[in-house]
């Protein structure tokens, strides 16, 4: 049986020289790789009591929905601004080059609900920090965040101090 790392395609010098791009699409394109990724991420939730799974557009949907389905939990999407049809709350956050904005439906999370965040990658942590603020702003409590991959050299965990953060694969660089 292959290890999950063997399914991740590494592309040197992309998007710029000196960077190794970790491509999740090679995991998605292989039925065994996809199943293994979901199973390993779901394993990180053993013993965790929670009410909802939250995932950001779009790869958080890919991994979060099957986990929510398997564990019979609701899935709550966090999307880019302007993509959700009902009343939303939003947060703007800094990117390396500029800003971005995320939204969630105002009625998606109730006061006191325990939330797990699922996503494919933690890099600088900015998106993850913004999601935590959105969830907590609605009264939810983030009890765990699970990522398929982590780029440890970018120190994204630093923005999630005090939270239970786990990744299936940790790469030391950027």
Residue 115, beta-bridge partner list: 52, 142
Cβ-proximal residues to 160 (8 Å cutoff; 6+ apart), any chain = 122, 125, 128, 129, 132, 145
Query: Is 96 one of the catalytic residues?
Result: yes
Output b/e per residue, 39-49; b: 16+ Cβ within 10 A.
ebbbebbeeee
Query: Is 59 one of the catalytic residues?
Result: yes
122: tokens are 């933690």
Pick the catalytic residue from 57, 59, 114, 166.
59
CB–CB of 148/62 below 8 Å?
Answer: no
Pick the catalytic residue from 49, 87, 96, 111.
96
User: Would you report the helix, strand and coil content of the chain in percent, each value rounded to 5?
Assistant: 30, 35, 35
Catalytic residue annotation: 59, 96
């Amino acid at each position: 049986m292959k290890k999950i790392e063997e399914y991740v395609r590494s592309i040197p010098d992309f998007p710029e020289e000196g960077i190794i791009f970790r491509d999740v699409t090679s995991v998605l394109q292989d039925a065994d790789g996809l199943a293994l990724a979901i199973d390993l991420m779901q394993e990180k939730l053993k013993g965790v009591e929670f009410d909802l799974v939250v995932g950001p557009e779009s790869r958080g949907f890919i991994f979060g929905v099957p986990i929510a389905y398997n564990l019979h939990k609701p899935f709550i999407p966090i999307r880019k601004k302007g993509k959700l049809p009902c009343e939303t709350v939003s947060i703007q956050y800094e990117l390396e080059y500029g800003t971005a904005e995320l939204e969630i439906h105002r009625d998606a999370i109730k006061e006191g609900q325990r939330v797990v965040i699922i996503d494919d990658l933690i890099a600088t942590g900015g998106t993850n920090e913004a999601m935590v603020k959105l969830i907590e702003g609605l009264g939810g409590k983030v009890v765990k965040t699970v990522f398929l991959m982590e780029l440890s050299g970018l120190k994204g965990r630093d923005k999630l101090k005090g939270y239970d953060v786990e990744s299936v694969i940790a790469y030391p660089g950027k």
